[in-house]
Structure 1
Amino acid sequence: MLVRCARSRLSVWAALGVLVLCWLYIFPVYRLPSDKEIVDEVLRQGAAWSKNLTGIGLYRNLITKCCDPKRMFAVTKENSPMGKVLWYDGEFYHSHTVNNETYPLFVQETPLQLPLKKCSVVGNGGVLKNSGCGRDIDQADFVMRCNLPPLSKEYTEDVGSRTNLVTANPSIIEKRFQSLLWSRKAFVESMKAYGSSYVYMPAFSMKPGTDPSLRAYHALADFSSNQTVLFANPDFLKSVGKFWKAHGVHAKRLSTGLFLVSLALGLCEEVTAYGFWPFSVGLDEQPVSHHYYDNVLPFSGFHAMPEEFLRLWHLHKSGTLRLRIGRCP
């Protein structure tokens, strides 16, 4: 009887030990620097930056090995033939089988002319406000933007006007355009701000986002838009998530900005990122709004923005990519 009790206690403690180890793996115990510490660190670095071709090549190889962005960043007829099961990367146990309805919507193969040379990846951080970075952004060969940001005249001096690829989260289609169930014209008109760009949509990340994404595709097609809709490949998004988790970013889901930076690191010869500053104070120790166009905060606990920034800052210091923070010269 005593032996049985001792064994059962051991089993309980062993199970608790496993749970603690799993928790620490998912949510490791470490202290993130404070906003002020990060401001001080960035100020110490100053404007000094030197491109590191070795570092750029290393990261391109790492991302190619883990995620194969050249072939896999978008769903294509080549990588997703009829009958293929696309497992949603944002949900367990949900999938979409490529069928007669969805297969014709896919591009034949990756449409980008690779390799891309100088790329601007533009986040939507409030640090862009009064930055004067618009001209720098537009001078890149390829400009990527996040989540259908406003590009009206009041912002172009800071964020530029050119767009080659813009992401469109299905939640934006749902909230801003009522899931395109009533009127589609306002959506199509608003998309003209992004010119003849690629519209990159995670249609197969979460099940509720599939139908709004497909409606967005048909709305642009029906109005003869000059834009090309690319559906994000859930296998690519899942691989990128695993890559950054192994490199110290622990979150329920990566931000759209980090997905785009990962894509750029895999496809571009030189990457400059703008608008990536998730902290409440700027380099002048003045308050910074969350976005350059509003101060609406995201859901707490969904992204790990400070962790993402620290990874990007490490790449900046190593010369692998360039982070523009504050005013552009």
Structure 2
Amino acid sequence: MEFCIEMFNLAPVKGYEDDVGTKTNFTTVNQSILSKGEDPLVGKESIAAFDALQRQFQGSLLWVPAFSQRGYYEFVQRIVNVSLASGIMKPVVQNPGHFIGMMRLWRALHRRSDWPSTGLYIVSAAFELCEEIDVFGFWFYETSLEGVPAPYHYHNDIIFGTRHSRFKEFQDLVNFHEMGILKMHFGSCKS
């Protein structure tokens, strides 16, 4: 199966089609992003908002990191149940052993105790699933190659944080690119 991992964390497509395309059959959801606000995925409004996010990925797989952080298990179960009830996407729950192994690997390689980003984790998982990997949109600098401001996420105002080793992760991906393990695409997606 060819995966087109279009978006991470149910990022919006509408209004960004020229930059991010429209073909998606696999996306992720980070429970820490969805858990913000009062009673997430409990009331009708919250569930309707989640369903609206899912609709842009109609029929896609929804990867859910069920065991990545303590205290989120019940909320992750709610994500899975709401997604199953809607029938819009098919939730896939990560294997906790795989995640722990990847986390330990990247922590050892980076000699830090921080978490690998969702992006690095998914690219790492793609090594096991895909014959060819093309990576778009991984840019960990505040300006593009053209010198234009480049936000951390194209769709919100999250600023560069210190939770992940973003420069080391970027360098790892560049090294994989140089070794021919994957192909990174830099610059505008239109070029």
Answer yes or no: same fold by TM over 0.5. Answer: yes
8 Å contact 1:177–1:187 — kept in the other structure? no
1:228 counterpart = 2:66 = no
8 Å contact 2:4–2:23 — kept in the other structure? yes
SS in 1 for 2:131: strand
Q: Distance in 1 between matches of 2:81 and 2:179?
A: 43
| TM-aligned CA deviation for residue 249 of structure 1 | 6.1
| TM-aligned CA deviation for residue 314 of structure 1 | 0.6
* Aligned counterpart, 1:237: 99
* Aligned counterpart, 2:75: 212
The letter of the residue matching 1:228 is K
Picking from 103, 124, 136, the partner of 1:262 is 124
Q: Distance in 1 between matches of 2:13 and 2:183?
A: 23
SS in 1 for 2:4: strand
* Aligned counterpart, 1:31: none
Q: 1:247 to 1:207 in 2, by over 3 A?
A: closer
Q: 1:249 to 1:194 in 2, by over 3 A?
A: farther
8 Å contact 2:66–2:72 — kept in the other structure? yes
* Aligned counterpart, 2:54: 191
| TM-aligned CA deviation for residue 327 of structure 1 | 2.0
Q: Distance in 1 between matches of 2:177 and 2:122?
A: 16
1:1-329 alignment, distance < 5 Å? 116=1, 141-144=2-5, 145-152=7-14, 154-175=15-36, 178-183=39-44, 184-223=47-86, 225-248=87-110, 250-298=112-160, 300-328=161-189, 329=191
For the pair shown, the structure with the greater C-alpha radius of gyration is 1
Q: Distance in 2 between matches of 1:232 and 1:214?
A: 12
The letter of the residue matching 2:19 is D
Q: 1:245 to 1:269 in 2, by over 3 A?
A: same
Name whichever of 280-289 and 160-169 sits farther off.
280-289
Q: Distance in 1 between matches of 2:24 and 2:179?
A: 28
Q: Distance in 2 between matches of 1:307 and 1:249?
A: 10
8 Å contact 2:60–2:89 — kept in the other structure? yes
| TM-aligned CA deviation for residue 190 of structure 1 | 2.2
Q: 1:207 to 1:245 in 2, by over 3 A?
A: closer
8 Å contact 2:26–2:63 — kept in the other structure? yes
Q: 1:255 to 1:177 in 2, by over 3 A?
A: farther
Q: Distance in 2 between matches of 1:150 and 1:176?
A: 19
Deviations 1:170-205 (A, max 9, x none): 122212684212222221232111111111111222
Q: 1:324 to 1:205 in 2, by over 3 A?
A: same
Q: Distance in 2 between matches of 1:227 and 1:286?
A: 35
The letter of the residue matching 1:208 is G
Structure 2 spans left out of the alignment, 5+ residues: none
RCO higher in structure (CA 8 A, sep ≥6):
1
* Aligned counterpart, 1:129: none
The letter of the residue matching 2:65 is P
Deviations 1:255-287 (A, max 9, x none): 000001001111100001111111112112232
> What is the Cα-based RMSD across aligned positions, in Å?
1.9
Q: 1:323 to 1:304 in 2, by over 3 A?
A: same
SS in 2 for 1:147: coil
Structure 1 spans left out of the alignment, 5+ residues: 1-115, 117-140
Q: Distance in 2 between matches of 1:186 and 1:257?
A: 24
| TM-aligned CA deviation for residue 208 of structure 1 | 2.3
The letter of the residue matching 1:200 is W
Q: Distance in 2 between matches of 1:142 and 1:151?
A: 17
Percentage identity across paired residues of the two chains? 29
